[in-house]
Amino acid sequence: SEMKMIGGFDTESLKQHFGKKLMELEDEKRAVE
């Protein structure tokens, strides 16, 4: 569903959105280790 919304975003919001997701994933990896 998120993929369909990409047309409504500009690249900056996409970068911020995915940047947050990546940071969250990195934190989870550290927590697991």
Residues of the chain by 3-state class (helix, strand, coil), percent to 5: 90, 0, 10
Mean pLDDT across the chain, nearest whole number?
80
* Percent above pLDDT 70 for the chain: 73
User: For the whole model, what pTM was predicted?
Assistant: 0.48
Q: With a cut of 90, say whether residue 2 has pLDDT above it.
A: no
The angle subtended at Cα 17 by Cα 21 and Cα 4, nearest 5°, is: 105
CA distance linking residue 23 with residue 28, whole number of Å: 9
pLDDT in tens, 5-15: 656 667 788 88
Q: With a cut of 80, say whether residue 31 has pLDDT above it.
A: yes
Q: What is the pLDDT of residue 14?
A: 80
